[in-house]
Chains A and B, each alone.
Chain A
Amino acid sequence: MTQAATPILAPVPEARPLWPRLAIGSLAALVLLPLAVIFASFADPQGAVWAHFGEFVLPRLVVNTLWLLIGVGFGTAVLGISLAWLTAVCEFPGRRWLSWGLLLPLAVPGYVLGFVMIGLLDFTGPLQTAWRAQFGAAPQIPIRSRGGVIAVMALTLYPYVYLVARNAFQTQGRRALEAAQTLGLGRVGGFFRVALPMARPWIAGGLALVLMETLADFGTVAVFNYDTFTTAIYRAWFGLYNLSAASQLASLLVVLVFIALALEQRSRRGQRFTAGGRADRGQRIALGPVARWLAALWCGLVFAVAVAVPLAQLLAWAWQSRGDLDVRYLGFLYRSLILAASGAGLVVLLGLTLAYALRARPGRGASFIGRLSTLGYALPGTVLAVGFYLPMSAIDNGWIALGNRVGEQWAPLLGGTLAAMLLAYGVRFLAVGFHPVEAALHRITPSMDEAARNLGSGGRDLLARVHLPLLRGGIATASVLVFVDIMKEMPITLMTRPFGWDTLAIRVFEMTSEGEWQRAALPAITLVIAGLIPVLLLMRGGDTEQIHAT
């Protein structure tokens, strides 16, 4: 401290470092690679296949997809907005626990709710059986229908709208309504003419996410045998063994995704202009004696149908098939955990790299390309699976052919499809892993770095004493979110897993395609429990600021 520092002179850093540009560029390339691959597939026209597709398949896919988008979009909007308004602004019995209970559908994958609903309401299901025993002929509930898929997907996806709308109403709904009342509008008029238009950018953002999830969904539509682009891609690959046709279908799906993405980006621009101050949350609208029970009934009904009843049914089935809790089940669990852990590790590493690269090289160009590399969350798993499988298997085949040339039996360089699977995970979930890490890194201001260096701490010491302690929370959040997302992930795992690598999600897929609902229940309930972890994190998120500050 007190002795004079030895005058070791360091050369002044002249040029800015190259690695941030390299890192940002390669991550963006990683996102663009699968897109390039699938669009390149049109170089290999599949005349015969398309003649068949064009006449029989494609029209049905388009009609099915459009109906699904309209239905799910409408359903989630009605559910999400009504529930958000009631829990954010009104007061009724059970509001406190329902306001977070209504987030729980986030933990239930669509394919799980789907098979539970089919099993429950089908002709042979417990409901109809009981009805027949009691009254003779039972009314048919056409659950295996377009309406059924839409209902199930709306019930699992509405939280995206609910969350953002609730936030918007909480921060501005009450105050905006008061302003409207002083200007002579009633409660209903105030809602439709002031509160709802003010929350519109957020709701549009939530709806765009819903539409992207709807387009990306594979598991739910597969359970219902409802043909959309994702299932068509799967069947072109594993039924017709025609990868070019699969890629071409994937590229059509990507075009639809980009439309939803454009909608989402537009809605973000609107959010900047209407961001309002924080209103006091103390006062809520006290509903009338009948209205308050109606509100409770509506929220409770949604909770029962989306969470309580399916969970009870799952538990019942899991108990019936408890014999399945054996070494095989542990194998599924083990492989799910291994894949989720390695995928989460990779994603967090990529996320950290991107966050540090953007920090080292701020600027409009870099942040645009940085945003581009997190756009993978919009790409359906089926698209990524095809887009990465093709180049990876080409490299592996080339490698094996090279081995044969020199008379050797070389193992696949990239571990068969393992590399494709991990890369697809990486691109699909980079945004999920990047945002918490970036938020944490954002709180380490450049002046903190300078202060540390000024106090004699640099390089590794600076990372260990300042950065790591401050990033720990963000890294943990990112890891958990990605881990759970990968556990629930179905299409990438299904299409690119190495031989024999069946996970819990794959087990659910296989059992449900055979209609064995009971035997799908145990792995399904495991996934739901894992899915609860990020929901709990989210619910604590209300006071994240405080958690991060301490």
Chain B
Amino acid sequence: MQLELLNIAVGFGTALILDDLTLALEPGEIGCLLGASGCGKTTALRAIAGFEPLVRGQIVVGDQQLSRPGWTLPPQRRRVGMVFQDYALFPHLSAADNIGFGLRGVDAARKRRRVAEMLDLVGLGELADHFPHQLSGGQQQRVAVARALAPDPAVLLMDEPFSNLDSELRERLSLEVRAILKAAGTTALIVTHDQHEAFAMADRVGLMHNGRIEQWDTPYNLYHRPASRRVARFIGQGVLVPGVVAENHHIRIPLGCLPSLSPLAAGTAVEVLLRPDDIVHDDASSLTATVRAKTFRGASILYSLELPDGTRLLALVPSHHNHSLGEAIGIRLDAEHVIAFASET
């Protein structure tokens, strides 16, 4: 493991910002903490960087313990790089000097080579002598990444790295930065509130809520196999449909009977997660639902449907199947497994 947080808690007394948070990253892996603002994700980063002391647990990077209750290795000795939300570039230094800032005690020639290497990596070779205010938002962002990577940190942390950029740039840069990190073989932990960004960048994503991680998993599993109702609601779109557990790990819902991945006793009342792509439009189907609302998305249309018994569904349908509100359309369930949660009583 390159980075390990073991049951850490941060805060004062009973007002804990982080409580019992655990995660681990393999060398070269990119992790992401995803959550609404105030869930404690930035605090987790600051604890790893050494700006927040621990109340419980420990933080280990490589084979070195960096934090435990009562002891915090100072930030400047951690070899943990950080890219700040506002980039925190030094306005009096050029791009090259910003990148070279952390290279102390390195002889001039090696330093120059390393700075050039980093400028190359982020594709800013020609802008070496520009000052931060002469760079665009995206360029500043890349300088900040290069500056954090230059001292070859054991772990790189990024706090909402794209929140100051407009949405088009955000998507392009998240892929670019992922490529840069992969090329450098960096272990990185990113914090964001944007699940598309998390899915685009990370190998592992942790959904955070109230200072804890609800699920630490791959993006695929987070979407298709959410561990809790909360994860299911936060990630992607979908509806929870009532059902009953039948024999042989099957679950019966108004649309049919499907194998379940959740180990629940037969007869239990459950709620089943149905994603919009689990429902397929099929004119031949005997099962029909009424269109209640629709959102045109270009390639597809997101329909909000209502079954005769009042159950609401979402269906993602190719956009040439254009139906009007109130029309009844044939639908079919298309899922290999479903995820079910015991009903809240």
Decide if A1 touches B152 in the complex (CB within 8 Å). Answer: yes
Q: Which B residues lie within 8 Å of A10 (CB)?
A: 71-74
Q: Which A residues lie within 8 Å of B80 (CB)?
A: 454
Decide if A469 touches B151 in the complex (CB within 8 Å). Answer: no
Q: How far does the Cβ of A463 sit from chain B's closest Cβ, in whole Å? A: 13
Query: 1/0 per residue B63-83: CB within 8 Å of A?
Result: 011000011111111111110
Q: Which A residues lie within 8 Å of B73 (CB)?
A: 5, 7-10
Q: Given A7-B64, A458-B76, check contact A450 B84 (CB 8 Å).
A: yes
Decide if B72 touches A12 in the complex (CB within 8 Å). Answer: yes
Q: How far does the Cβ of A125 sit from chain B's closest Cβ, in whole Å? A: 54
Cβ contact of A469, chosen from B79, B85, B92, cutoff 8 A: B92
Interface size class of chain A, counting residues whose CB lies under 8 Å from the partner chain? 20 to 34
Cβ contact of B152, chosen from A2, A465, A550, cutoff 8 A: A2
Decide if A447 touches B86 in the complex (CB within 8 Å). Answer: yes
Cβ contact of B75, chosen from A8, A447, A448, A454, cutoff 8 A: A454
Decide if B104 touches A451 in the complex (CB within 8 Å). Answer: no
Decide if B76 touches A466 in the complex (CB within 8 Å). Answer: no
Q: How far does the Cβ of A5 sit from chain B's closest Cβ, in whole Å? A: 4
Asked if A289 lies at the interface with its beta carbon under 8 angstroms from chain B, I say no
Decide if B84 touches A457 in the complex (CB within 8 Å). Answer: no
Considering the chains assembled together, what is the distance between the CA atoms of A450 and B80 in angstroms? Answer: 12
Q: Given A454-B82, A456-B151, check contact A465 B88 (CB 8 Å).
A: no
Q: Which A residues lie within 8 Å of B78 (CB)?
A: 5, 454
Asked if A445 lies at the interface with its beta carbon under 8 angstroms from chain B, I say yes
Decide if A11 touches B71 in the complex (CB within 8 Å). Answer: yes
Decide if B51 touches A455 in the complex (CB within 8 Å). Answer: no
Q: How far does the Cβ of B153 sit from chain A's closest Cβ, in whole Å? A: 9
Asked if B148 lies at the interface with its beta carbon under 8 angstroms from chain A, I say yes
Asked if A281 lies at the interface with its beta carbon under 8 angstroms from chain B, I say no
Considering the chains assembled together, what is the distance between the CA atoms of A5 and B104 in angstroms? Answer: 14
Q: Which A residues lie within 8 Å of B85 (CB)?
A: 447
Query: 1/0 per residue B84-109: CB within 8 Å of A?
Result: 11101111100000000111111000
Kindly report which residue of chain B lies nearest to residue A546, judged by CB atoms: B133
Q: Given A10-B73, A12-B72, A445-B86, check contact A452 B101 (CB 8 Å).
A: yes
Kindly report which residue of chain B lies nearest to residue A9, judged by CB atoms: B71
Asked if A549 lies at the interface with its beta carbon under 8 angstroms from chain B, I say yes
Cβ contact of B106, chosen from A1, A11, A454, cutoff 8 A: A1
Decide if A4 touches B62 in the complex (CB within 8 Å). Answer: yes
Please give the number of chain B residues whose Cβ is less than 8 angstroms from any Cβ of chain A in the complex.
39
Q: Given A450-B84, A550-B131, check contact A456 B148 (CB 8 Å).
A: no
Kindly report which residue of chain A lies nearest to residue B154, judged by CB atoms: A4
Kindly report which residue of chain B lies nearest to residue A473, judged by CB atoms: B92
Asked if A371 lies at the interface with its beta carbon under 8 angstroms from chain B, I say no
Which of A7, A450, A456, A549 has the most chain B CB atoms closer than 10 A to its own CB? A456
Decide if A454 touches B72 in the complex (CB within 8 Å). Answer: no
Considering the chains assembled together, what is the distance between the CA atoms of A458 and B103 in angstroms? Answer: 14
Q: Which A residues lie within 8 Å of B206 (CB)?
A: none
Asked if A538 lies at the interface with its beta carbon under 8 angstroms from chain B, I say no
Asked if B49 lies at the interface with its beta carbon under 8 angstroms from chain A, I say yes
Asked if A453 lies at the interface with its beta carbon under 8 angstroms from chain B, I say yes
Asked if B250 lies at the interface with its beta carbon under 8 angstroms from chain A, I say no
Q: How far does the Cβ of B108 sit from chain A's closest Cβ, in whole Å? A: 14
Please report which residues of chain A, range 444-490, place their CB below 8 angstroms from some CB of chain B when the two chains form the complex.
445, 447-448, 450-458, 465-466, 469-470
Considering the chains assembled together, what is the distance between the CA atoms of A470 and B89 in angstroms? Answer: 12
Asked if B147 lies at the interface with its beta carbon under 8 angstroms from chain A, I say yes
Decide if A456 touches B102 in the complex (CB within 8 Å). Answer: yes
Considering the chains assembled together, what is the distance between the CA atoms of A141 and B153 in angstroms? Answer: 80
Decide if B102 touches A457 in the complex (CB within 8 Å). Answer: yes
Asked if B161 lies at the interface with its beta carbon under 8 angstroms from chain A, I say no
Asked if A96 lies at the interface with its beta carbon under 8 angstroms from chain B, I say no
Decide if B64 touches A549 in the complex (CB within 8 Å). Answer: no
Decide if A450 touches B49 in the complex (CB within 8 Å). Answer: yes
Q: A5-B77, A452-B101, A457-B102 are in contact. List 20 more A-B contacts (CB 8 A).
A: A1-B105, A1-B106, A1-B152, A2-B152, A5-B79, A7-B64, A8-B74, A9-B71, A9-B72, A11-B70, A11-B71, A452-B90, A454-B75, A454-B78, A455-B101, A456-B76, A457-B104, A469-B92, A470-B90, A470-B92
Q: List 14 A-B contacts (CB under 8 A).
A: A9-B72, A10-B73, A12-B72, A445-B88, A451-B88, A451-B89, A453-B75, A454-B49, A454-B82, A455-B102, A456-B76, A456-B102, A456-B104, A458-B76
Interface residues of A (CB under 8 A from B): 1-2, 4-12, 443, 445, 447-448, 450-458, 465-466, 469-470, 549-550
